[in-house]
Amino acid sequence: MTTVPWWIQGGLSFVAAVTFGMMLNIPKRAYIPSGLIGTVCWLAYLLINQWWHLGLALSNMIGAVLISIFSMLVARRQRLPMIIYNVPALVNFVPGGQSYRMIRALALGNQALAMTYLYQVLVIAGALSVGFGLGDLINAAIYGRKFIGPKPISQLLRPKPHVSKPRDL
Amino acid sequence: MDDETRNLAITTCILAGQILIENGSNMDRVNDTVYRMGRAAGLKSFQVFTTVTGMVASSDHLPNAQAVDIRVRKNNLRKVAEVNDVSRRFVNGKLTLAQTYAELSAIDRDQTNLPEWLQCVAAAVLSGALLVIFTGDYGDVIESSLIGGIGYWVFLVLFRKFQIKYISEFSAAVVVGVSAMLLQKVGIVANANATIIGSIMPLVPGIPLTNAARDFVAGNLISGPSRALEALLTAAAIASAIVLVLRYVA
């Protein structure tokens, strides 16, 4: 199916990430980094999926892990939220082709083919979720987890220390 | 710290959270930002409850908690970045509470976005690029770009007029499908299936998808499913439009 040479795919994934970022109105200084993240992660996906043939799930998962790691890296450098780099880079990984073919098979009454594509869509979506989770884990391992939460409600009110009187017998 | 300052502090925190949720930040970041601001404002025993459609915050055993109702989704990531910047300056002590509130409400009122034509051009380029990446089909790049740009323009116009997201997406997907099929009948488009795959991609719910994945993994059982549902509704709107087109036009 994909006879497109890798360097054209890399360039187009850059374009796709930047234009999707433009549609979501990300800050201008984030255009180039988010496009580069899209390119690098898509090339890694191509390497794993098309050249090493390691399967759909692993390649998407590693793509998502790389998106998380690179997004965090650039987000810390540019002091912007990580989601600004996450979302544009992800647009290449969305299973749009498989979803469309699934819908088409359903509309034309070919249930077996629809199930095949549904399976692919589910595998890709699950792999991307797991990949984001792993990426967050790696980021927390590198930079430390710094989320701040509330104090436990049992610690809020400090009662006066209870002094027990000596019992007179 | 008197009650008025505390009330203003809670309002400021809740306003920051509201802007973040409206514009598609993930819940971990919302909670983190709000608690950091609450701590920097000196609120004791500050508690926030965040969902995708509303927020409740309370502090210091004040008699009233404050709540905010969130109905719109603007998905404007620049506002997320600006709120991030303001809250960072506030936490570092470079802004007072009143200045922070003023800056946040200025961000909230700011309606500037990229001009619509530029968004449509971006959507067109995105369609062409993803057509080649997903299907390896060079033949219909220009047609797919044009249809994708027009489809996204239809979505923008309908959404601006009627403010109903799913119906706007449905109509845009119908426009995309019908025009691809008709152009194939005329002979301008070689492969209508590939063209539709490319042209439909600007309508993909990127922010809800990403947030659903990250919120699920973070263990947020309210925000994860609701973001996933948001993404699924959009997908269902597009899918039903495509089914209609494939059944009755093709």
Partner residue facing A27 (CB), from B26, B78, B201: B78
Q: In this predicted model, what pLDDT tens digit does every residue of A4-47 receive, in sequence order? A: 888 999 999 999 999 999 999 999 999 999 999 999 999 999 99
Across the interface, do B247 and A26 touch by the CB < 8 Å criterion? no
Of B16, B8, B10, which is closest to residue B82 (Cα–Cα)?
A: B16
Identify the pLDDT of residue A169. Answer: 63
Of A22, A17, A28, A19, which is closest to residue A71 (Cα–Cα)?
A: A17
Partner residue facing A104 (CB), from B31, B118, B193: B193
Measured between beta carbons, the chain A residues lying within 8 angstroms of B153 are none
Identify the pLDDT of residue B202. Answer: 92
Mean pLDDT of all residues belonging to chain B: 91
Across the interface, do A83 and B77 touch by the CB < 8 Å criterion? yes
Quote the CA–CA distance of B111 and B248 in Å, as a whole number: 40
Q: For B16, what's the count of Cα atoms within 13 Å in the CB-facing half-sphere?
A: 32
Establish, for the pair of chains A and B, how many residue pairs have beta carbons separated by less than 8 Å.
Answer: 175
Identify the pLDDT of residue B130. Answer: 93
Angle at Cα B148 formed by Cα A26 and Cα A114, nearest 5°?
105
Identify the pLDDT of residue B167. Answer: 93
Measured between beta carbons, the chain B residues lying within 8 angstroms of A96 are 130, 134, 197, 200-201, 204
Is the separation of the CB atoms in B55 and B73 below 8 Å? no
Across the interface, do A90 and B118 touch by the CB < 8 Å criterion? no
Measured between beta carbons, the chain A residues lying within 8 angstroms of B193 are 100-101, 104
Across the interface, do B133 and A92 touch by the CB < 8 Å criterion? yes
pLDDT band at A117 (very low <50, low <70, confident <90, very high): very high
Strand order across the beta sheet in which B66-69 lies: B47-51, B54-58, B66-69
Identify the pLDDT of residue A158. Answer: 66
Measured between beta carbons, the chain B residues lying within 8 angstroms of A94 are 201, 204, 206, 209
Residue B74 in this model has a pLDDT that exceeds 90 = no
Measured between beta carbons, the chain A residues lying within 8 angstroms of B134 are 96-97
What is the value of ipTM here, to two decimals? 0.91
